[in-house]
Amino acid sequence: MSTTRLAWAAGLAILIVLPFITPTYFLHLLIQILIWAFIYTAWSLMGRFGFVSFGHGAFMGIGAYVPALLWSYWNVTPWLGIPLGVVLSGLLAIIIGYPCFRRRVIGHYFALVTLALSQVVLLSLIAAREITGGSLGFTQRAVGYSWYALQFPEKSYFYAIAVLLWLFGLAVWRRIDRGIGREALEAISEDEEAAASVGIDVLREKMRVTVISAALTALGGAVYGQYVMYLNPETVSGIAVSLQIVFAAIAGGVYSLFGPSVGALLTLSLTEGLRVWFGANFVGAANTIYGILLVLCIIFMPQGIVGTLQRPKGSSARRDIAWNWRKG
């Protein structure tokens, strides 16, 4: 057995044992970290190739709200609602992504178009306040333990779901990383015209990774929604969430398999730790320090934490995060 396999086996064993030995509070934190790690990993599928989306808040919001609303108002099981939300997000990714790539909306322009998308979803959710409760949010109709409603009062169920989700995210990341698609995408991110001239279907490769990234993000949003039950537009969509995704993924590092997960682990433990430390007396103190750390991280560790610790293998050359972000 190779060392990598041994490490994987050990890691999995820890993940399996963990719910039996940790207090509920930590399990709650762990579930959140795993779900966000999955979402950050999904973002990095695009981000690592230089397509910096500030629109993933939109996909997450759709993924979370579609099944929640369908269940709470029309009694539709999340088993149908979740796939529907994922498909809708994928469609939205196509509607936005296709013309963007077609018309070569890149760099700052791509970032700001996707940012606008985040706002569209956020504001639509707030505007539909009759069913979403507007910016006050709403709580899903609870029925207790139910596989049909995908509701489990016991945290261990969601822990298992979150672990599986996270592993699924890593598997997708690895598949793209190992597939031929990656080389094509790297070629595209280096020089699009050159890539096209050697026969790479630039548009197809970009669309594929974008749709996968959006769909997975929606899936993450859905599981998050099922877990927390209470949904608020500001916590699952909009600029703040989009920025949070971009930050954490980049802070962790988007070139390595575990980079985004490390980003989730560190940023969430940090905010949670600061929150507990400061208590309820100093609202905002935790995020103040978080903001300072983010700026310092960007200035002093532009490669991300994992990237700073280990140079990316394979393409070896030192790169900045936004390798190929041409000035718009």
Partner 1 sequence: MDIYLLEAVINGILLGGVLALLALGLNLIFGVVDVIWIAYADIVMCAMYAIYFLYTGLSVPLPLAFLIAIIGAASLGVLVHLLIIAPVLNSAPLNQLLATGGLLFFLQSFATLLFGTDFRNIGVRLPVLEFATIYVSFARLIAFAVGLIGAIALYGFLKWTYLGIAIRALAQDRDIVGLMGVDPRRIYLVVSAIGGGLAGLAACLLALQYDVHPFIGNTFGPVIFMICVLGGLGNMIGGFVASFIISQIIAIGGYYSSTELSYVLAFTFFIVLMFIRPRGLFAR
Q: Does 266 bind partner 1 (CB under 8 A)?
A: no
Give the footprint of partner 1 on residues 234-253 (CB under 8 A).
Answer: 238-240, 243, 246-247, 250
> Contact letters (x/-) for partner 1, 95-114, by CB under 8 A?
-x--xx-xxxx-xxx-xxx-
Dihedral class, residue 195 (left if φ above 0, else alpha if ψ from -120 to 50, else beta): alpha
Residue 72 C-beta: closest distance to partner 1, Å: 21
Give the footprint of partner 1 on residues 63-82 (CB under 8 A).
Answer: none
Q: Does 115 bind partner 1 (CB under 8 A)?
A: yes
Residue 99 C-beta: closest distance to partner 1, Å: 4
Of the two residues 41 and 242, which places its CB atom closer to partner 1 in the complex? 242
- To the nearest 10°, report the CA torsion of 176, 180, 186, 187: -160
Of the two residues 131 and 292, which places its CB atom closer to partner 1 in the complex? 292
Cα 161 to its chain centre, rounded Å, is 16
Residue 96 C-beta: closest distance to partner 1, Å: 7
How many whole angstroms separate alpha carbon 242 and alpha carbon 59? 10
Figure out which of the listed residues 123, 142, 171, 309 binds partner 1, where binding follows CB under 8 A: 123
Contacts of 20 (CB under 8 A, 6+ apart): none
Specify burial of residue 50 (Cβ count, 10 A radius: 0-12, 13-18, 19+).
buried
Do 155 and 217 form a contact (C-beta atoms < 8 A)? no
Residue 142 C-beta: closest distance to partner 1, Å: 28
CA-CA distances (angstroms) from residue 63 to 66, 141, 189, 248, 276?
Answer: 6, 17, 28, 20, 29
Residues that bind partner 1 (CB under 8 A): 52, 96, 99-100, 102-105, 107-109, 111-113, 115-117, 119-120, 123-124, 126-127, 238-240, 243, 246-247, 250, 282-288, 290-295, 297-299, 302, 320-323, 325, 327-328
